[in-house]
A and B are shown apart, each in its own frame.
Chain A
Amino acid sequence: MNIEFGPELESFRREVAEFLDVAPTPAIREAGKKTTSVFAPFEQVMAWHRILHAKGWAAPAWPKEYGGTGWSVEQRYIFAEECRKRELPPLLPNGLQMVGPMLIELGSEEQKRKHLPGILSGEDYWTQGYSEPNAGSDLASLQCSAVADGDDYIINGSKIWTTLAHHSNRMFMLVRTSKTGKKQEGITFLLLDRTDYPGMEIRPIIGLDGFPEQCEVFFDNVRVPQSGRVGAENDGWSVAKHLLKHERGGSAASPAMLHAIARIRETARQTPSPFGGVLADDAVFQRDLGELEADVMSCRHFEQLAISGHPLARDAAYPSVNKTMNSELSQRISIMMTRVSGIETVPQQLEALVVGSNVAPLGDDFDLIAMPYYLNTRATSIYAGSNEVQRDLIARTVLAANR
């Protein structure tokens, strides 16, 4: 066994650290501190995206020939770790981590030429049109239809939980092109090169945290070119499954979690305990924080084994185990944050949370984000296939081993 990243990787870490220490603007840093979701404040995170792109570091996981960094898995982990340490806003995942890798693998040459450069530069931002009001965890029941007409499709129906659709100029979506046979077999994957087609309407949805992160998108006879289809007609389910793999696969979660634990501990040192002294010295608090940290450490151990290619992470259930574990850990961290903040979580501070706001937070930064983070993080066990669906998938691998 060898636990070290090795000297070359440590020098890589220094190179990354040097850049990250100077490159982000104050607004980008502020956006990082005010990030209460997987999705950082849009304007600043896209500014950070463009800075990283200029450096050639926007797409760590992409192959070099498509403008990626060509970094190894270990290098990517180190990069993510150094970014989290500095509370920098994580780049938005839809283009870089979802559509991009999918197109590289499954897109036509023309689609790659047309879409990849905009994803890489941050000029384009993609929203995901999967869920519908009546198709969430049971995604294959989706009804939004596309009917072929000449070189086009005519789309009718609606999509929901289209994250940041109101900021997006591109959309990838699943549509129903056939109602015969198995429901998975009548689905087609489409790329929309605009989000302002006639007949298309985007309505933001205010979330529990008070912000319009999610949207609903309505399609009323929207005519889009068939050239945006990925794969064959009615074969969109396999494209979507491929892409979901990327959505669930993120495996550099522990650095941000450890950072959050450190902040919780630091805040507890300044918080009086009702039993005397400070909360950080309270036995029950120590025990509970210790359990949370131990669970984060196990998550970290799992991540490190995964990036080294250990067999434990090659199990068919790995993406679901990872998604379930990470989402539930994030939720517990958010609970611990609100527990430490106490009544400071009660004031609603929507204006102070806006980057560049001239409204000062009522408490400190920690108090400002504790409750919005808690509220937003309820979504982690719902999105990307609810944790109930993930547990079904994990159980299937247990039972399949015995058939």
Chain B
Amino acid sequence: MDFNFTEEQVMLRDGVARYLDRNYDFDARQGLLRSGAAWSKETWSQFAELGVLALPFPEEVGGLGGSAATLVPVAETCGEHLTVEPLAFALALAGGALVAAGDNAGARARLADLASGASVGAFAYDEGRGLAAPAQIAMAATASGDGFTLNGEKRLVFGAAQADFLVVAARAAGKAGDAAGLVLLLVDPKADGVTFTPFRTQDGRSAAHVRFDNVKVAGADVLVRDAHDVIVRLVADAILLLAAEAVGAMSALMRITGAYATTRKQFGVAIGTFQAVAHRLADMKIALARAHATLTYSTALAEAGRLTARDVSVLKAQVGKLGRAIAEAAVQTHGGVGMTDELSVGHYMKRVLAFESMFGAADYHFRMIGQAA
């Protein structure tokens, strides 16, 4: 057994870390958000230059032949820097859907642009208060000609208003809860009937709710029919990368909080010398070790093509639960200053809380694990 990243992965991660250390510290990030930009175009082109954007895609479409799992160390580093670029959403979800479309010409062209950094895609998936599993997709795609007509709303679509193309997961047949009847469709964000309600997320990303009113999708833009299993796989890849970002954020919280407990003095001594505080630090470290172990092991399972639905549930639930515990402990240890917008601590907290709320919260995944034999 070997759970180490390859030399190439380590080099890429270190390259990304060097760039982010120089250009993406917390102050720079906050400046970027204040400027109103959705994310840093410069950082995205740097990712393109370093090969990050091409890494998870097959070689025959201009990729570097890796997978979402190959990107895990990069995603961890991004999480440590609280980046707002849509790595998991554009690459694992939108990009992954294009790969699943096989030799669809439109998909191939957009994939090449995605991998080179020339364009960005968004994945329209969530509905209502969020989907715990793809089978719950309800938004209707009504057959019309050889294509479909879309009506309804998708919620929390990351990078939607900035995207050059949308991939929409919709229901062509059956009812919410059915695995059968799902499709993945390629939609031009400028098409008639597509409207956006853009917003900034709690953790600094850019997203939008997207309405579809009689939006026509041509037959050539049907990426995947009977798409349930494909969507499950794409969501698993996204969970893996977002979990890696969350674990990166948790590592940063551990480091920052440990440093604070060592330097902050009350009653004449460093607060870390009080046992109540020390034990909270210890619990953070135990939680981080567990989350890190599960992320690393899950990554190895994904690389071996053996990441089951149950494994995904373990990863999603554990990182969500342990992330919340670490974040809350970090804010508590920082006291009043932990409550301020000025400090990074609260922003890391919002990152892990956003992760916990998406793709099924911990309670859902725990129950799935408890249910299965």
A residues engaging B (CB < 8 A)?
1-5, 74, 265, 283, 285-291, 293-295, 297-302, 304-305, 307-308, 310, 312, 315, 317, 321, 324-325, 388, 390-392, 394-399, 401-403
Residues of B within 8 A of A290 (CB): 313, 317, 365-371
**C-beta contact mask, B267-286 vs A, less than 8 Å → 1, else 0?**
00010100100110111111
Which of B75-83, B131-139, B297-305 lies at the interface? B297-305
Residues of B within 8 A of A305 (CB): 3, 293, 296-297
Q: In angstroms, how far is the closest chain B Cβ from the Cβ of A279?
A: 11
Tell me whether A398 and B258 are in contact in the complex, defined as CB-CB below 8 angstroms, given that A1-B303, A312-B296 are known contacts.
yes
Tell me whether A312 and B292 are in contact in the complex, defined as CB-CB below 8 angstroms, given that A1-B299, A5-B1, A395-B272 are known contacts.
yes
Q: When the two chains form their complex, are residues A391 and B292 in contact, meaning their CB atoms are under 8 A apart?
A: no
Q: When the two chains form their complex, are residues A293 and B370 in contact, meaning their CB atoms are under 8 A apart?
A: yes
Residues of B within 8 A of A297 (CB): 294, 314, 318
Q: List 18 A-B contacts (CB under 8 A).
A: A1-B299, A2-B300, A3-B1, A3-B306, A287-B366, A290-B370, A291-B366, A294-B369, A298-B294, A299-B290, A301-B294, A308-B1, A312-B293, A395-B272, A396-B278, A399-B272, A401-B255, A403-B262
Q: When the two chains form their complex, are residues B289 and A312 in contact, meaning their CB atoms are under 8 A apart?
A: yes
How far does the alpha carbon of A310 sit from the alpha carbon of B272 in the complex, in Å? Answer: 28
Residues of A within 8 A of B303 (CB): 1, 3
How far does the alpha carbon of A291 sit from the alpha carbon of B290 in the complex, in Å? Answer: 13
Q: In angstroms, how far is the closest chain B Cβ from the Cβ of A253?
A: 13
Q: When the two chains form their complex, are residues A293 and B261 in contact, meaning their CB atoms are under 8 A apart?
A: no
* Interface of chain B residues 284 through 335 with chain A (CB within 8 A): 284-286, 289-294, 296-301, 303-304, 306, 313-314, 317-318, 321
Task: Give 14 A-B pairs besides A3-B304, A392-B275 with Cβ atoms closer than 8 angstroms.
Answer: A4-B304, A286-B367, A290-B317, A290-B367, A291-B317, A291-B366, A294-B369, A310-B3, A315-B289, A391-B279, A391-B282, A398-B272, A401-B255, A403-B262
Closest chain B residue, CB of each to CB of A402: B262
Q: Does B27 contact A (CB under 8 A)?
A: no
How far does the alpha carbon of A283 sit from the alpha carbon of B291 in the complex, in Å? Answer: 25
Q: Does B4 contact A (CB under 8 A)?
A: yes
Q: When the two chains form their complex, are residues B285 and A394 in contact, meaning their CB atoms are under 8 A apart?
A: yes
Q: Which 4 A-B pairs have the closest CB atoms?
A: A290-B370, A286-B370, A290-B369, A395-B278
Q: In angstroms, how far is the closest chain B Cβ from the Cβ of A285?
A: 7
Residues of A within 8 A of B321 (CB): 291
Q: In angstroms, how far is the closest chain A Cβ from the Cβ of B297?
A: 4
Q: Does B259 contact A (CB under 8 A)?
A: yes
Question: Within the complex, which residue of A298, A324, A391 is in contact with B278, where a contact is CB–CB below 8 Å?
Answer: A391
Residues of B within 8 A of A399 (CB): 258, 261-262, 270, 272, 278, 281
Q: Does B2 contact A (CB under 8 A)?
A: yes
Residues of B within 8 A of A397 (CB): 285
Q: In angstroms, how far is the closest chain A Cβ from the Cβ of B243?
A: 12
Q: Is the interface of A mostly helix, strand, loop or mixed?
A: helix
Closest chain A residue, CB of each to CB of B292: A312
Q: Does B263 contact A (CB under 8 A)?
A: yes
How far does the alpha carbon of A304 sit from the alpha carbon of B4 in the complex, in Å? Answer: 12
Residues of B within 8 A of A286 (CB): 366-367, 370-371
How far does the alpha carbon of A96 sit from the alpha carbon of B5 in the complex, in Å? Answer: 36
Q: When the two chains form their complex, are residues A388 and B367 in contact, meaning their CB atoms are under 8 A apart?
A: no
How far does the alpha carbon of A5 sit from the alpha carbon of B371 in the complex, in Å? Answer: 29
Q: When the two chains form their complex, are residues B3 and A395 in contact, meaning their CB atoms are under 8 A apart?
A: no
Q: When the two chains form their complex, are residues B285 and A298 in contact, meaning their CB atoms are under 8 A apart?
A: no
Closest chain A residue, CB of each to CB of B319: A298
Closest chain B residue, CB of each to CB of A288: B370
How far does the alpha carbon of A119 sit from the alpha carbon of B365 in the complex, in Å? Answer: 47
By size class, the interface of chain B is: 35 or more
Question: Within the complex, which residue of A5, A289, A304, A398 is in contact with B254, where a contact is CB–CB below 8 Å?
Answer: A398
Residues of B within 8 A of A317 (CB): 285
Q: When the two chains form their complex, are residues A4 and B1 in contact, meaning their CB atoms are under 8 A apart?
A: yes
Q: When the two chains form their complex, are residues B297 and A301 in contact, meaning their CB atoms are under 8 A apart?
A: yes
Q: When the two chains form their complex, are residues B283 and A391 in contact, meaning their CB atoms are under 8 A apart?
A: yes
How far does the alpha carbon of A293 sit from the alpha carbon of B258 in the complex, in Å? Answer: 30
Question: Within the complex, which residue of A294, A307, A312 is in contact with B317, where a contact is CB–CB below 8 Å?
Answer: A294
Residues of B within 8 A of A304 (CB): 1, 3, 297
Q: In angstroms, how far is the closest chain B Cβ from the Cβ of A386?
A: 12
Q: In angstroms, how far is the closest chain A Cβ from the Cβ of B163?
A: 32
How far does the alpha carbon of A314 sit from the alpha carbon of B39 in the complex, in Å? Answer: 37
Tell me whether A1 and B258 are in contact in the complex, defined as CB-CB below 8 angstroms, given that A290-B366, A295-B290, A297-B294 are known contacts.
no
Q: In angstroms, how far is the closest chain A Cβ from the Cβ of B345?
A: 15
How far does the alpha carbon of A302 sit from the alpha carbon of B368 in the complex, in Å? Answer: 22
Residues of A within 8 A of B363 (CB): 287
Q: When the two chains form their complex, are residues A74 and B1 in contact, meaning their CB atoms are under 8 A apart?
A: yes
How far does the alpha carbon of A290 sit from the alpha carbon of B365 in the complex, in Å? Answer: 8
Q: When the two chains form their complex, are residues A1 and B290 in contact, meaning their CB atoms are under 8 A apart?
A: no
How far does the alpha carbon of A286 sit from the alpha carbon of B279 in the complex, in Å? Answer: 30
How far does the alpha carbon of A315 sit from the alpha carbon of B293 in the complex, in Å? Answer: 13
Closest chain B residue, CB of each to CB of A396: B278
Q: In angstroms, how far is the closest chain B Cβ from the Cβ of A240?
A: 23
Tell me whether A307 and B290 are in contact in the complex, defined as CB-CB below 8 angstroms, given that A3-B301, A392-B278 are known contacts.
no
Residues of B within 8 A of A300 (CB): 297
How far does the alpha carbon of A392 sit from the alpha carbon of B297 in the complex, in Å? Answer: 28
Closest chain A residue, CB of each to CB of B1: A308
How far does the alpha carbon of A361 sit from the alpha carbon of B239 in the complex, in Å? Answer: 47
How far does the alpha carbon of A401 sit from the alpha carbon of B261 in the complex, in Å? Answer: 11
Residues of A within 8 A of B362 (CB): 291
Residues of B within 8 A of A265 (CB): 373
Tell me whether A395 and B369 are in contact in the complex, defined as CB-CB below 8 angstroms, given that A1-B3, A302-B293 are known contacts.
no
How far does the alpha carbon of A2 sit from the alpha carbon of B301 in the complex, in Å? Answer: 8
Tell me whether A1 and B300 are in contact in the complex, defined as CB-CB below 8 angstroms, given that A287-B367, A290-B371, A398-B258 are known contacts.
yes
Q: When the two chains form their complex, are residues A1 and B4 in contact, meaning their CB atoms are under 8 A apart?
A: yes
Tell me whether A321 and B285 are in contact in the complex, defined as CB-CB below 8 angstroms, given that A290-B371, A304-B297, A312-B293 are known contacts.
yes
Q: When the two chains form their complex, are residues A398 and B285 in contact, meaning their CB atoms are under 8 A apart?
A: yes
Closest chain B residue, CB of each to CB of A1: B300
Residues of B within 8 A of A287 (CB): 363, 366-367, 370
Residues of B within 8 A of A325 (CB): 286, 289-290
Question: Within the complex, which residue of B1, B290, B314 is in contact with A2, where a contact is CB–CB below 8 Å?
Answer: B1
Closest chain B residue, CB of each to CB of A297: B314
Residues of B within 8 A of A1 (CB): 2-5, 299-300, 303-304
Residues of B within 8 A of A388 (CB): 275, 279
Q: When the two chains form their complex, are residues A398 and B317 in contact, meaning their CB atoms are under 8 A apart?
A: no
